[in-house]
Amino acid sequence: MGSKVKLKTNRGAAKRFKKTASGKIRFRRANRNHIKTKQSTKRVRQARRNGVLPACDTPSIYRLLPND
């Protein structure tokens, strides 16, 4: 009787964020595609690594990715 409605995954968020095994959210850093000549070498190098979302922002992304 009281079956819940399936929640849809936000496809835009699914392409940008990924859940890790420990439950953290990983994302790709910005400013990685072009016009890197005006950026410092340090900034470009550090942008290569994926970022981990702060704990305070994680619940809002979890809401967008219910089935992942």
39 inside domain: yes
CATH of residue 53's domain is 4.10.410.60
Q: What is the pLDDT of residue 1?
A: 64
CB-count burial class (<10 Å; 0-12, 13-18, 19+) for 12: exposed
Domain that residue 40 falls in: 11-64
Q: What is the pLDDT of residue 3?
A: 80
Tokens in use for 58? Answer: 């994680």
- Tell me which amino acid residue 29 is: R
28 inside domain: yes
Question: Which tens digits make up the pLDDT trace of 8-60?
Answer: 999 999 999 999 999 999 999 988 899 999 999 999 999 999 999 999 999 99
3 inside domain: no
5 inside domain: no
46 inside domain: yes
Q: What is the pLDDT of residue 58?
A: 94
How many domains does one find in the chain? 1
